[in-house]
Structure 1
Amino acid sequence: MPLSPANAAHALGDYLHSFPDDHPLHVALRTYALSLSLSLGPALVPFLISPKARAGGIKALTNVLRREFGISSFASSMTVGVGGGAALKFILDNWSKRFHRDASCSTKATSPLPSWWQRLKTWLASLDEFHRNFVSNLISAYMAIVLLQSRRRLSRNTPPRAAIPMTALTTSTPTSPSFTLDLTLLFVVRAIDSLVRSKLLPCETKLSSKATREEKDRVRNKRQQVTTRLDAFVFWASSARIMWCFFYEPDSLPRSYNKWIMSLANIDPRLLHALRAIRSDSFSYVKGFSIPPDLVSGFSRDLGYPSAWGDPALLPGYGGAEADRVWKTLGVTNRSGVGGLPCELVHSGFGSSCTANAGVRGIHAFAEALAIYIPVHILPILLTRPRTLLQKQQIVSSILSILRSASFLSTFVSSIWFAICMTRTLFLARLFPSIPHDFWDGPFGCTFIGSLVCGSSIWVEEGKRRGEMALYVLPRAIRACIPKSWLTSGRRSVRVVERLAFVLSLATLLTASSQSRESLRGLSRWTLSFVMKGPNTGFWKRKRQDASTTATLLDSSSPRESSPPPDTQQTKT
């Protein structure tokens, strides 16, 4: 008699639950589900918000579904990389036990197998658990990147779509970097962080069992101090490189990241064109020329100011008394002693006050940051412990965390603008009037100082979030440091280096999740703990414990049927 769909589902569920949570089958299923949610969700968003995407109809939707459910999709590739490593490790563990058991019971008879196979079997059997795990993950990670990059040939015949932050699987052309580059750099940064935490930073778990609680606390505090300072330095250096590239080399950053910075900082694109023209020597106050001639004069006219305020042939190239005479002729009253563009043009419509400009832009960034950080702080609580949102203490704590994170981003933006004004108007340019203003508005002047200053805003953020912020910006900073000419050259060395980095990084992360989980943190620790160990680790375990405790309390408080008195039982008997 055939099973009904409901009975078949129950039978399949019972079969899956017969395996432990860390069984390769469970690891593969969790990996596929999580990877599919990260790739399919963003791929379907354009069909909900973009009329252009919906114009494609069922055919366009079918192409997206075929791409995300295909054998070379992100979900399938990650399942091969993570679940395949777990399966190989499971096979090697069982084979190693059987090899040692057979070797202890076998005689010295000559084996019919080739000598190289015998040596390979002996070497595999001699590996300890750590190295068996690492070798298994190396093999599966290589299969994953080969499978993922095979998508390049298939994607050339499909239209490009918006980049997915986690996968970055966009259409690749011979003149664009590899579409797996962002994912590779993400793994590289997380793997380096794991190695640094496990090898260089002190860890209380390495202390002897006789260590006192005070010694463990001292080691833990020292580790926290070193980690916090290192995270702050990484964020500062990365943000400095990213912002400088945003001003002068935007092609070295992901396009979506450029748009996000542009929206947050609220910078007029024409002002960026002027800065890049000064760097390329197409615009000069000293030489008095601009290519094209109306590069800034048209911008000044659009803002409602005289076009002469944007003409380098009329603007003073140096500070001092000569600059004051020029400003008096042009009708500019707030730049005594300095040259260059008037503040009204640099502020792009936010008035002539440098302090007010920085403050207004900081408020604008604060408002946008609230829309970013409210889901970031609230969603994890809704998914893990929603009842705590009804507690006054939790509500206050969440609000303070959101305001602090938004203040960090607001400080980041306003500090850039204030540093720019301090350099070109308020202090440095006024202190050294003999230095040409081509330098102050050049790539190593005001924008350079602003790029260096903004990263210090990380100290406004909470200590536990500084690490995640540093790990978020570091991959983009590394990408900005790689020569674009090499990335887009199409050389075989580019693919070889990327595959090597992908394989070693993913294998390191997967091995660390099983052997030294304390070396992982943040997003990587949560993701790998859930994927490798199942819903009995991390906050999932706490959630289950809270649910069981609640059920126990409800069960103990529920009314039960009272047993009959002894005499009644005796009568019935």
Structure 2
Amino acid sequence: MQKLVGAGSARPARLTSLEQSIPPVLRPVIRAYVLGYASSTAPRLLTLLLTHLSRRRKNIDDKPVHSFFPSLVRILRGGLELQRFPTFCAALVGGSTLLEIPLRRLFARLARGLSKAAQLRFTRWLSTFIAAWFSLKLLQSKKSDAFIEVVPYNTPNGITHRPTRFAGRTMDLTLFAVTRALDAVIGELWSQRKARRMAAGKWNQVEKSISALTDPTIFAASSALIMWAWIYSPDRLPPSYNKWIKSAAAVDNRLLVALRRARWGELKYGLETGQAHILQGMCKDYGWPLDYGDPVKSIPFPCEMVHMGTGKNCEYHALSRLIQSFIWAFSTYLPLNLALTIRNPSKKGLRYALTSSARSSAFLGSFIALYYYGICLGRTRVGPRVFGTSVSARQQLDSGVCVASSCAICGWSILFENEARRKDIALFVAPRALATLLPRRYLWEDQWRETLAFAVSTAVVFTCVAERPERVRGVLGKILQRVLNN
């Protein structure tokens, strides 16, 4: 803390002085609330500001301009509501730290046979478990129209329709906690195994490779699930995430519709099922023969349609996607990285901003290029050599195999990123991948299972932060250490 005061400006010094005036036992609570409030309101404020500036620049009518300040106040006040994320953060962190003191005294009397270290570990886990249970219940108690549905019920007087509340609104948060807990537990077990094997001189190259490829494998597997869901079950992804992927992919929605209908058997090669109009609309827009989009005459559809105007060559299309996506990503990453160097500008900082932006852009650009090229591999380059070229084989390739091949290879683009970022990115996408395997809504009476999973997982993570902080990897571990430190 003193280093931060000495190296920083007057503002950090004032903040540090203000924090020191707060009783140590209350500091984690206040830090958690401020952090939760900032993380929940800042993105919405930024979106509001960008929308407002865009409308002013385009000289759109004055109504949105007049609504800016009411919207601003609504966002700021909304974050202060009891059933929102800031209060949840404060209840979770505050409950875990404040409950630990009386529980430690109580457990010291009831379990005198255990060592002090074991008593301390258990009381930390139990206090966090209780705090996590009730703080998540606080979030879950807030009603959402998206999770209320009118359901028909059989009654003695016939069928009646009643609004029924479903659970699942906090599923993303729970899966985030579960993923982090699994990462901490498995990481600790693997670390112990590594120590034993190295002490015995048996640590081999295969085990080294497993350690190095764990994060890339997690990301590749998670990306495969997410991209499969994006094509075939987009409702299993959060709307904002779905929208971002579509923006990055820059895909014609008619291609997605055709792939989905081929998957569900509505579009079939060699049969007239009334689906030709989907891709024939693309043919008109791109200047192709209408026969390209007719599943009776084109078996399979030319890969040129997947390329969307870049020609017939699959490799050229992949290269063009790589270049376009790299430029798009670089124009996004570079301003962000440069903004981080403004406070302490230097040649080293500028060099780091450029290299970091280039690596991240290469990762995202190659992800998109590999995804598109994987489709070409599955349907025209490799797939026909494995499955054949019959009508049924072509149907099989375009109804799932081509998408599966693209999903399988795109995630390995993570190898372009440095090792430090791989773990953060992998652990960011893993909960979203798990969410594609679970229902987004489920029966309200089954909510206790989710709450239990969240409470157990959060207790594991918080206990690791206190005793083995290196096990909670990435940015989250650093944030939790800062928040929970008295």
Task: Flag whether TM exceeds 0.5 (same fold).
Answer: yes
- 1:139 matched to 2:125: no
Q: Which residue is equivalent to 1:549?
A: none
Are the structure 2 counterparts of residues 18 and 272 from structure 1 closer, same or farther at C-alpha, using a change threshold of 3 Å?
A: closer
Flag the 1:263–1:177 CA change in 2: closer, same or farther, 3 A: farther
The partner residue of 2:260 within 271, 276, 281 is 276
Q: Is the 8 A contact 2:169 2:441 kept in 1?
A: no
Say yes or no: does 1:82 pair with 2:123: no
Structure 2 residue aligned with 1:165: none
Match of 1:286, SS state, is: coil
Question: Which of 331, 346, 362 is 1:390 aligned to?
Answer: 346
Match of 1:439 in 2: 396
Closer, same or farther: CA 231–442 of 1 in aligned 2, 3 Å: same
Q: Tell me by how many angstroms 1:45 deviates.
A: 2.8
Amino acid at match of 2:410: C
Q: Where does structure 1 lack aligned partners over 5 or more consecutive residues?
A: 1-9, 101-118, 158-172, 208-213, 316-338, 535-573
Deviates more, 1:263-272 or 1:500-509: 500-509
How far the C-alpha of 1:65 sits from its partner, in A, is 2.8
The partner residue of 2:280 within 297, 318, 321 is: 297
Shift of 1:489: 3.8
1:345 corresponds to which residue?
Answer: 305
What is the aligned partner in structure 2 of residue 41 from structure 1? 42
Is 1:314 paired with 2:297? yes
Which residue of 2 is the match for residue 507 of structure 1?
A: 459
The aligned residue for residue 421 of structure 1 is 376
Q: Residues of 2 paired with 1:57 and 1:63: CA distance?
A: 10
Spell out, residue by residue over 1:276-310, the C-alpha distance to the aligned partner (whole angstroms, 9 max, x if none).
0101111111324334x412212211222222221
Q: Give the C-alpha shift of residue 186 in structure 1.
A: 1.4
After TM superposition, give the deviation of residue 49 of structure 1 in Å. Answer: 2.8
* Contact 1:265 1:361 (C-alpha < 8 Å) held by counterparts: no
Change (3 A) 1:174 1:524: farther
Match of 1:492 among 426, 434, 445: 445
Q: Which residue of 1 aligns with 2:186?
A: 196
Q: CA deviation at 1:429?
A: 2.1
Q: Which amino acid aligns with 2:422?
A: R
1:50 corresponding residue in structure 2: 51
CA-to-aligned-CA distance 1:461-509 (integer Å, 9 cap, x gap): 2122221121111111100011x3xx4243411x222211221122222
* Distance in 2 separating the partners of 1:221 and 1:96: 49
Alignment of 1:441-460 (within 5 A): 441-443=398-400, 445-460=401-416
- Are 1:17 and 2:28 matched, yes or no? no
Distance 2:50 2:372 in 1: 34
Higher RCO (CA < 8 A, seq sep 6+): 2
Matched to 1:268, the amino acid is: D
1:232 paired with 2:216, answer yes
User: Per-residue displacement from partner, 1:69-114 (whole Å, max 9, x unpaired)?
Assistant: 1222211111010122111113334x359x76xxxxxxxxxxxxxx
Deviation (angstroms), 1:40: 1.4
CA 348–37 in structure 1, closer or farther in 2 if over 3 Å, else same: same
Distance 1:60 1:411, change over 3 A: closer
Larger Rg: 1
Matched-pair contact (CA < 8 Å) for 1:288–1:314:
no
1:252 positional shift: 1.0
Aligned-pair identity in percent equals 29
Q: Report how far residue 226 of structure 1 moved.
A: 3.8
In 1: Cα distance, 2:405 partner to 2:16 partner: 60
Distance 1:217 1:376 in 2: 45
Q: What is the CA–CA distance in structure 2 between the aligned matches of 1:175 and 1:313, rounded to whole Å?
A: 46
Q: Does 1:519 align with 2:485?
A: no
Q: Is the contact made by 1:203 and 1:220 (CA closer than 8 Å) also made in structure 2?
A: no
Deviation at 1:13, TM superposition (A): 8.7
Match of 1:185 among 175, 180, 187: 175
- Offset of 1:413 from its aligned partner? 1.1
Aligned to 2:57: none
Deviation at 1:43, TM superposition (A): 2.5
Distance 1:221 1:376, change over 3 A: farther
Tell me the distance in 2 between the aligned counterparts of 1:340 and 1:141.
Answer: 54
Residue deviations 1:252-287, cap 9 Å, x none? 111111111111121110100000010111111132
Q: CA distance change for structure 1 residues 25 and 308 in 2, over 3 Å: closer, same or farther?
A: same
**Per-residue deviation at 1:177?**
6.4
2:184/2:471 contact within 8 Å kept: yes
Distance 1:305 1:126 in 2: 73
- SS of match in other structure, 2:300: coil
Partner of 1:110: none
Contact 1:201 1:226 in 2 (8 A): no
2:424 pairs with 1:468: yes
Q: 1:492 is matched by which residue type in structure 2?
A: E
Deviations, residues 176-226 of structure 1 (Å, cap 9, x unaligned):
86332212211211111111112233388x78xxxxxx9699989998754
Pair 1:265-2:244 in alignment? no
Find the aligned partners of 2:220 and 2:467 in 1 and give their Cα distance.
31
Summarize deviations over 1:317-366 as a string: whole Å, max 9, x none: xxxxxxxxxxxxxxxxxxxxxx3112332212222221221111111211
2: CA distance, partners of 1:32 / 1:203: 38
- 8 Å CA contact 2:377–2:405 kept in 1: the answer is no
**How many residues end up aligned between the 2 structures?**
448
What secondary structure is seen at the aligned counterpart in 2 of 1:350?
Answer: coil
Q: Which residue identity lines up with residue 40 of structure 2 in the other structure?
A: S
- The secondary structure found in structure 1 opposite 2:191 is coil
The yes-or-no answer on 1:368 pairing with 2:371 is no
Aligned to 2:103: 92
Partner SS for 1:128: helix
Give the residue type in structure 2 aligned to 1:231. Answer: D
C-alpha distance after superposition, 1:358-412 (max 9, x if no partner): 1111112112222443366556666xxx54x5144x5434422321221111111
TM-score by length of 2: 0.81
Secondary structure, in 3 states, of the residue corresponding to 1:179? coil
What letter matches 1:478 in structure 2? Answer: L
Residues 365, 14 of structure 1: alpha-carbon distance in 2 compared, 3 angstrom cutoff: closer
Match of 1:296, SS state, is helix
The aligned counterpart of 1:31 is 32
Distance 1:286 1:186, change over 3 A: same
Aligned to 1:537: none
Q: Which residue of 1 aligns with 2:317?
A: 357
**2-structure distance, mates of 1:197, 1:88:** 28
Q: Does 1:412 align with 2:423?
A: no
- Cα root mean square deviation, aligned: 3.7
Relative to 1, partners in 2 of residues 1:414 and 1:27: Cα closer, same or farther, differing over 3 Å?
Answer: same
**Distance across 2 between alignment mates of 1:24 and 1:426:** 63
Residue matched to 1:334: none
Superposed, 1:105-116 pairs within 5 Å as: none
Q: Distance in 2 between matches of 1:80 and 1:143?
A: 8
Does structure 2 conserve the Cα–Cα contact (< 8 Å) formed by 1:181 and 1:498?
yes
d(CA) in 2 for partners of 1:40 and 1:220? 49
